[in-house]
Amino acid sequence: MSNWVAPFLNRPVDAVVDLPGSKSITNRALILAALADGPSRITGTLRSRDTDLMLDGLAAIGVGVDFHSDDPTTVDITPQPLHAGAVDCGLAGTVMRFLPAVAALADGDVAFDGDEQARSRPLDTVLDALRSLGASIDGRGLPFTVHGTGSVAGGPVTIDASASSQFVSGLLLSGARFVAGVQITHSGAPVPSMPHIEMTVEMLETAGVTVDFDASSTRWSIAPTTVRAVDWAVEPDLSNAAAFLAAAPATGGRVSVPRWPVTTTQPGAAVLGILEQMGAEVDHRSDGLLTVRGSARPTAIDVDLHDVGELTPTIAALCALAEGTSTLRGITHLRGHETDRLTALSTEINRIGGDCRETADGLVITGRDRVDLHAELWRSYADHRMATAGALLGLRVEGLAVEDVETTAKTLPDFVKMWEAMAGTAS
């Protein structure tokens, strides 16, 4: 780990940032391609720690993975008989929650493990669900072993997915290959990040898998069917765009992102409306160029982030610079992410002289003028979004250092180079 002094700007930012592909789309496309009825090509593949762990995990259990020598973001996936192997999950929630259902279709034992921090992440929901669907699994969290038998009986299952939408997506992505398909009923508090499930459903339907959703009973149903091979083109990652776009209102400047989709299922797109609420201007040209312009100091907001919890660290950092008191609600589930993000954000914002307190389901942040904030070591807690939040505050707090900025490689391996280029401080 190293401490990186984030670039400080005493002027408005003015930059164009070209972002790599979406992690969420990439890892869903990889799962669907691995289970399809023929080879698929994925272009714009995000190459980050999380996606490379997914690629390595699929290859470890028999899936053909071939990269183009002249373009590492283009990968050919060839479905093959699945066999025993070992999967390193790292800290990737999509790997530890999506791949077990695939591993249950393998012929042989598949051992899962990951980083030390990952061993405390909740997995019993998806593992117990797979057991009730006919899979044999030892363990309730990392490390665990799936004893694959080549098939999964499938059928109805009731789960509590209030801790993560990934529990639903993980079962849906493989459900068409189960003998009786799958019928998932959610029972509990509202499912967070529902747009991520909508993304899963849309991608399944693109691959020829019909998903019936009964909103009245919160039930998703998939009949056993063939997953059609699809050549996927991955959109830019709009969640990774959030911190870069927030640099515009943070500094009163301008940041543009090319290739912003006209329509998308990525929850990260919601950042635009939130930035507008904080006083920024948003312009989306017909050629796909998206521009955010800040003016004076951002204004405080009261917003429910239940469906877009991944944006919380960026929005919280911006609120620490805003004029007034902001309330971020609906994000209790963030306590079960890479770290307890609510406690982490409150601790780090207060460490640099800010005013942040935790509530039962979120944060209340009273903004401070940047001259009232001071440089300290911003701890990342091995959480990529905590690291990028620190970088955002560093634009206005001279000398702020971010601990373990390398953790951003989880979803954005070139983050430091890209951030310094945006700030105009790259060597």
Is 221 marked as binding a ligand? no
Instruction: Establish whether the linkage from the previous residue to 143 is cis, with ω within 30° of 0.
Output: yes
Distant-in-sequence, close-in-space partners of 116: CB < 8 Å, separation ≥ 6: none
Q: Residue 117, annotated ligand binder?
A: no
323 belongs to the catalytic site:
no
175 known member of a binding site = no
CA neighbor of 336 nearest in space, from 175, 162, 181, 103 = 162
What one-character DSSP code corresponds to residue 306? G
293 labelled ligand-binding: no
* Contact assessment for residue 396 and residue 318, using Cβ atoms and an 8 Å cutoff: no
On whether 417 is known to bind a ligand per the annotation, the reply is no
Would you say 256 is a known binding-site residue?
Answer: no
Q: Helix 166-175 vs helix 194-206: angle between axes, to the nearest 10 degrees?
A: 10
Asked if 422 and 255 touch (Cβ cutoff 8 Å), the reply is yes
- Say if residue 154 carries a ligand binding annotation: no
Task: Specify the 3-state DSSP secondary structure of 410.
Answer: helix
Is the distance from CB of 339 to CB of 383 less than 8 angstroms?
yes
The whole-angstrom distance between residue 274's C-alpha and the CA centroid of its chain comes to: 18
Question: Does 390 belong to an annotated binding site?
Answer: no
CA 358/CA 345 separation, integer angstroms: 9
Task: Select which of 310, 338, 348, 403 is catalytic.
Answer: 310
Q: Is 370 annotated as a binding residue?
A: no
**DSSP run (H or E) holding 29:** helix 23-34
Question: Per the annotation, does 259 bind a ligand?
Answer: no
Spacing of C-alpha 401 from chain mean position: 24
According to DSSP, residue 35 is labeled T
* Residue 128 burial by Cβ neighbours in a 10 Å radius (0-12, 13-18, 19+): middle
Residue spans of alpha helices (H) in 218-331: 238-251, 271-277, 312-319
Instruction: Give the annotated binding-site residues for 3-phosphoshikimate.
Output: 23-24, 28, 164-166, 193, 310, 337
Q: Which residues are catalytic?
A: 310
Instruction: Give the annotated binding-site residues.
Output: 23-24, 28, 93, 121, 164-166, 193, 310, 337, 341, 385, 410
Instruction: Give the annotated binding-site residues for phosphoenolpyruvate.
Output: 23, 93, 121, 166, 341, 385, 410
